[in-house]
Amino acid sequence: MNNLTTYRRLIVPSDVKNLFKDYSLSISGLMTGAASNAKIAKNLKIDNIPPAVILHHLPDKQISEVINKDNAAQTINRRYVEQLAELSKKFNLTEKLKTYSGCAYSSSGCRRSCLVYSGRSNIFKAVQYARGRRTLAAIDRPAEYVRGLIYSIGHHYKKQNGGALSVRLKGTDENNLHFKKITLSINEINNINSYYGLKINYSDKPRTISEIFKNDSIIFYEYSKAPLTYLKRLTALNIDITASLVADRITGAADAITAVKSGYRLAVPIALNKAGHIPRRLIISDNTGRRVSIKCYNGDLFDYRPANKKQCAVILKAKKSAGGDILSAFFIADKLGPQIIGGGIIELIY
Ligand code: SF4
C-alpha cells in the first residue's frame, strides 16, 4: 500500500509577509467570516446563498481621531488608541492621515450614526484596534495589502470545499481597493491555485481583485453612497452594487432616483417601529419632478444583496449606534405621509 501524501505548502511572498508582520495581521484574520459578524451570519440560514467574508476598516476620518491623544470622544469605540498612534509614527503615516477619509461620500448624519459604532465595538477596544491596523496597512502599502487580500479570500474560499464565497471589501468604509491593480507572478499564481483550489489565470498586466478572481466562484457585492459614475465603475468590474439612500444629503432624493432609474436597488435605513414590519412600497420624488415608486424587501433577513431584484428598495432597520442619533435626518421615520429628505420627498406605503 502506498501511504505517500502530497503536502501543498503555501509560500507567502515577503512583501505580504512583512506587511502582515508590521501591522500584526494574518491571512485568516484579515477578513471576517460569519462566525464573527452577525449580519453576514444570516446569509448562512438561507438556502442557495453563499457564505460571506467581509473587510472591516475604520470609517471616514476615524483613523486620524484614534491616533490623536487629545481626542475627547465619549464612547470607547471613538477614543484614542495608543498602539495605533505608535504604528502611524513608526511608518511615517501621521501626515498622510491628516487628509485621509475612508468615506468620501458620507453625510454628517451617517458619520454620526455609523453602524461601525454599534455592537461589540463599543465594548471591546480591541475591535477598533484591529480595524485600525487594517486601515493603516491599506493606507501605507495598498498594493501589498490587496495582494494580502488575495490570500485571505483564498483562505476563506478553501473552507467552502469548492462552494461559492461572497466577498464585501467595503464592510465599514468606502475604500477604493476594488480599483487597485496588482501583479501576481506565475509562481505565485501556481502556488495560490494549488494551495487554495483556485483557477486564477496568468496575466502580465496589472489587474484588479475581481478581474483576478474572474474564473472562480467568488461573488463581490457592496453597498455604496457614491454618485452614479462611481457605481458604474464598480459594476463594470462585475461587482454587484446596492446604492444607499443618503436622506440628509442635499441631493439625496435626486441621487436615489438616478440610481434606481439606472437599474440599481436602493438600501433605505428606516427607524422601524417593529423589526420585520416594513412598508410595501416607497415613493421618492425630487425637486425637478422626477419620481420612482419601488417595491420594498426586508434587507435584514440576510445580507446577500445579489439575491434581491434590481430596482427595489432594501429596507434596513436603523440601529442606534454609540454616540449616534436614531432621530437623525439620515434615517427615514416609520410613518405614513410624505417626509422631506434632501432635495425631495419620500413616502412609505403600507
Ligand atoms: S455609514 Fe457608511 S459612509 Fe457613513 S460613515 Fe459609516 S461607513 Fe462611512
**pLDDT for position 42:** 72
37-90 per-position pLDDT tens digit: 666 677 677 778 899 999 999 999 999 999 998 887 878 778 899 999 999 999
Q: How far is the CA of 267 from the centre of ligand 1 (A)?
A: 13
**pLDDT for position 224:** 98
User: Are 59 and 106 a contacting pair, CB within 8 Å?
Assistant: yes
> Minimal CA–CA distance to 105: which of 208, 272, 241?
241
> In the predicted model, is pLDDT for residue 15 greater than 90?
yes
> In the predicted model, is pLDDT for residue 123 greater than 70?
no
Pocket test for ligand 1, best of 57, 62, 111 (most atoms within 8 A of CB): 111
Please name the residue ranges forming H helices in 225-286.
Answer: 228-236, 252-261
The domain locations on the chain are 9-242, 245-350
Q: How far is the CA of 179 from the centre of ligand 1 (A)?
A: 19
> In the predicted model, is pLDDT for residue 295 greater than 70?
yes
User: Are 152 and 31 a contacting pair, CB within 8 Å?
Assistant: yes
**Band of pLDDT at residue 29, cut at 50, 70 and 90:** very high
Burial class (CB in 10 A: 0-12, 13-18, 19+), 285: buried
Does ligand 1 come within 6 angstroms of the Cβ of 110? Answer: yes
Does ligand 1 come within 6 angstroms of the Cβ of 60? Answer: yes
Q: How far is the CA of 199 from the centre of ligand 1 (A)?
A: 34
What's the rounded Cα separation, in Å, for the pair 275 and 277? 6
| 117-134 mean pLDDT | 80
**Band of pLDDT at residue 117, cut at 50, 70 and 90:** confident
User: Which of residues 119 and 95 earns the better pLDDT score?
Assistant: 95
Strands (E), the chain: 52-54, 165-168, 218-224, 240-244, 265-271, 281-286, 291-298, 313-317, 332-333, 338-341, 344-349
Contacts of 280 (CB under 8 A, 6+ apart): 295, 296, 349, 350
Type of residue at 197: G
| 104-109 mean pLDDT | 95
**pLDDT for position 321:** 74
pTM for the structure as a whole: 0.93
Q: How far is the CA of 64 from the centre of ligand 1 (A)?
A: 16
**pLDDT for position 1:** 46
**pLDDT for position 37:** 67
302-326 per-position pLDDT tens digit: 999 999 999 999 999 998 776 778 8
C-alpha cell at 263: 437599474
Q: How far is the CA of 111 from the centre of ligand 1 (A)?
A: 6
166-215 per-position pLDDT tens digit: 999 999 999 999 999 999 999 999 999 999 999 999 999 999 999 999 99
**pLDDT for position 7:** 56
Closest ligand 1 atom to residue 170 Cα is: 7
